[in-house]
Amino acid sequence: MEEYETNRCLECGIDTSVQGYVNRYPNIHNKIAGYTCGSCASWSEARDEYRSEHNPEDDDDWDDDWDDREWEEWHKNEYLPEVDRDFPNAKRFRELIQMTAWTNTDWTTEQKKELLAIMESKE
């Protein structure tokens, strides 16, 4: 059961009720029910496919390889800077989401408050 609901894309942080509504699909992360926006959809599919084919533990060039991916370059260098121009809270939202992405830790009370405030904000 998810504790929170948001229109934000859990990958890039945009408000999908404002942008990226078309082709968005539901996404869940650590008790937050949100979305993957249309723009992040193919990127996150490519990324997940890559992750399923490469194991960071026995793949020596996992990291190098990663940043060379076309889709990763596009997302990081072209797409996210646009997002951050249009949605000032998106960057912090991504940081907070990432904090619990690869660990079993939960957010602190302060971080949760911050997340909620961003999720409730309109931009």
Give the interface with Zn ion as residue ranges (CB under 5 A): 9, 11-12, 37, 40
Please, what is the minimum distance in Å from the beta carbon of residue 116 to Zn ion? 20
Please, what is the minimum distance in Å from the beta carbon of residue 40 to Zn ion? 3
Please, what is the minimum distance in Å from the beta carbon of residue 44 to Zn ion? 8
Instruction: Pick between residue 13 and residue 30 the one whose CB is nearest to Zn ion.
Output: 13
Token reading at 13: 């942080």
Q: Which backbone phi and psi does 72 adopt, to 5 degrees?
A: -70, -40
Instruction: Pick between residue 106 and residue 123 the one whose CB is nearest to Zn ion.
Output: 123
User: How much helix, strand and coil, in percent to the nearest 5, is found in the chain?
Assistant: 50, 15, 35
Instruction: Pick between residue 46 and residue 62 the one whose CB is nearest to Zn ion.
Output: 46
Please, what is the minimum distance in Å from the beta carbon of residue 113 to Zn ion? 23
**DSSP assignment string, 51-89:** HHH--TTT-TTHHHHHHH-HHHHIIIIIIHHHHHHH-TT
Instruction: Pick between residue 37 and residue 118 the one whose CB is nearest to Zn ion.
Output: 37
